[in-house]
Amino acid sequence: MEPASIHPTAVRIDLGAIFVSLELSRSTWLITSLSPGSGEKMSKHVVAGGNVAELLDRFEQLQQKARLRTGKLFPIVTIQEAGLDGFWIHRVLETHGIESYVVDAASIATSRRRRRAKTDKIDGEALTRTLLAFKRGEPRVCAMVRAPDPKDEDRRRICRERKVLIAERVRHVNRVKGLLFAQGVSGYQPLRKDRRQRLEELQTGDGRELPKHLKAQINRELDRLELLLEQIAAVESERNSLLSMDEQPAVEATSPAAMLLSLKGVGAEFAAVLWTEALSRHFDNRRQIAAYAGLTPTPWMSGTIDHEQGVSKAGNPRLRTTMIQLSWLWLRNQPASALSRWFVDRVQSNGGRLKKAAIVALARKLLIALWKFVTAGVVIEGAVMKTA
């Protein structure tokens, strides 16, 4: 008697929907779909990039083909990777009643071979299988991205633009100082209001006047620097208006931004970044907000190996950097708080070492404490509020 042949288990597609993955690029969009009644074969179709009408027509064709095979009309469920396209395609699909998901591409398991094949076709099929597993309820199969509200998404541009402008200001200041240092001039501060007058008074290290073309180049650098200073002031004015209590209705007197500003050591920029980057979103628990900031531990445990690799750094880098900076300021401005006392005791128990590791742990605890403070009104133990 011959042994029974072993056949691979078929893919389950009995969830009553047409599963579609979108591989997006500037020129083309690859649509990979798996429909009921088509077995395990995935169909692929290419539409022009940005052509939403053609995309919706293709979805309608998929529904009609599935209806001819099965006699039923199935809904469309789509998935796409988070990327440079943002969330506008996701919002268009939801507007047309299509169930849409945006996935973090780094959370999808891939082959660990040194040389693995990678094409849009392979990626599209992998995305479709990931969507199937997610809808079946398999745990930890991927991490879906929560699309922010358009107003919240637009609001956080203020702090991000200011950071870009500050970086450009630093580059212009360093360039001016470098040009002067090559002539033996040091101590010139381009950010002072009398920058133009002091430039006319400068002399080279060997007692000469500044060369004509060098002075003209520096003046052009100062023109760009002054424009940047005006733009930074305008952005900061928008930020202050956003945080101002006078601009908010009376019913929002206890808004997250106002509550953060009431804490000693938290200024307008920190409050704006915390509010726009994190606290305007919804989190179910403290683990979610810590993971969003990339402040969760990453243990490496296998057999007798037990090693901690540090924080994951997989979340929002702007929020993580801000929390590290705020943690150092928290120690200075809130020394009597329970979090500051915990940090001091932790460092002293290690003989004054491992301050950097401890400050990261403090940043995680402080972020969770601030989240509880603005969402549930849980007062941070020992925290001092600003005087009126």
Domain 18-147 fold is: Nucleotidyltransferase; domain 5 (3.30.420)
Judged against a pLDDT cut of 60, whether residue 121 lies above it is answered with: yes
Judged against a pLDDT cut of 70, whether residue 260 lies above it is answered with: yes
Percent of the chain with pLDDT over 70: 93
CA distances from 58 to 49, 119, 132, 167, 365 (A): 14, 22, 20, 45, 49
Is residue 26 within 8 A of residue 49, CB to CB? The reply is: yes
Higher-confidence residue of 254 and 137: namely 137
Q: How many helices (H) and strands (E) does the chain have?
A: 13, 8
Quickly state the pLDDT bin for 256 (edges 50, 70, 90): confident
Cross-sheet strand order for the sheet of 76-81: 43-48, 28-34, 18-24, 76-81, 99-103, 144-145
CA distances from 232 to 65, 151, 237 (A): 56, 22, 8
Percent of the chain with pLDDT over 90: 68
Domain boundaries, the chain: 18-147, 154-243, 252-376
Distance CA 326, CA 293 (A): 14
142 burial via Cβ count (<10 Å: 0-12, 13-18, 19+): buried
If one counts every other C-beta atom within 10 angstroms of the C-beta of residue 252, the result is 12
Amino acid, res. 234:
A
- Measured in Å, how far apart are the chain's first and last C-alpha atoms? 91
* Of the candidate ranges 12-16, 72-76, 143-147, the one whose mean pLDDT is the lowest: 12-16
Contacts of 89 (CB under 8 A, 6+ apart): 22, 24, 52, 80
pLDDT digits (tens, 9 = 90+) for 312-358: 888 899 999 999 999 999 999 999 999 999 999 999 998 888 899 89
CA distances from 275 to 133, 159, 192, 229, 318 (A): 34, 10, 32, 25, 12
pTM: 0.82
Judged against a pLDDT cut of 90, whether residue 44 lies above it is answered with: yes
Please give the angle made by the CA atoms of 206, 207 and 211, to the nearest 5 degrees: 90
| Average of per-residue pLDDT across 164-188 | 95
Is residue 300 within 8 A of residue 307, CB to CB? The reply is: yes
| Average of per-residue pLDDT across 352-380 | 92
| Average of per-residue pLDDT across 196-205 | 93
CA dihedral sign of residues 162, 167, 171, 174:
positive
